[in-house]
Amino acid sequence: MEKKKGEILVENIIFIVLNLVFLTILVLFLINQGNGAIFMEKFYSKQISLLIDSSSPGAIMQLNLEKPKKVAEKNGIAFDKMVVIDLDKRLVTVSLKDKSSYSYSYFNDVDVKFYTDDIYYIFTINKRI
């Protein structure tokens, strides 16, 4: 009978330790998702796409990307390589981490050019030829 009591205690300790490990991994994952690059990639790719869709030819837009710039530089991504716009597929791709990016499409049939200035991306919208 003493052997069974010892086994129950060991099983309970193993169960508690495994649950704590699982919960720790879950909390770390949620913190990484909420404050990290993945969330910002989604947010900024959608925002840039919506800006392009709502603009008309001749528009010039300035977008402050200070927060994603800090995240990208921390992850080794150059600020001027952070945003890529594919004019043929009409996709805006934002990448803040190595091997990670998020793309969002826009519908406006325009030619989009952009350049960087310190913490800003300046977009110029022109008629597509």
Instruction: Give average pLDDT by consecutive 10-residue segment, the chain, 129 residues.
Output: 64 93 92 75 94 93 93 90 94 91 93 93 91
From the list 112, 95, 111, 115, the residue with the least C-alpha distance to 103 is 95
Residue 31 CA, distance from chain mean position: 14
Do 77 and 22 belong together in one domain? no
Q: Do 45 and 99 fall into the same domain?
A: yes
Cα–chain center distance at 34: 10
Same-domain check for residues 41 and 31: no
Whole-number pLDDT of residue 37: 82
In the chain, the number of structural domains is 2
Strand arrangement of the beta sheet that strand 120-127 belongs to: 60-64, 120-127, 110-117
Supply the pLDDT for residue 2: 54
Asked if 41 and 83 sit in the same domain, the reply is yes
Q: How far apart are CA 94 and CA 100, in angstroms?
A: 9
What's the whole-model pTM score? Answer: 0.74
67 and 28 share one domain: no
Task: Looking at the structure, tell me whether residues 62 and 94 fall in a common domain.
Answer: yes
Q: Are residues 31 and 41 in the same domain?
A: no
Is residue 63 domain-shared with residue 101, that is, in the same domain? yes
> Which range marks the domain in which residue 10 is found?
1-35
Do 63 and 123 sit in the same domain of this protein? yes
Beta strands in 5-128 (DSSP E): 60-64, 83-86, 91-97, 100-105, 110-117, 120-127
Q: What is the pLDDT of residue 75?
A: 86
Mark whether 2 and 15 lie in a shared domain: yes
104: how many CB neighbours lie within 10 A of its CB? Answer: 20
Q: What was the pLDDT predicted at 3?
A: 57
100 and 61 within one domain: yes
Query: What's the token pair of residue 89?
Result: 């597929």
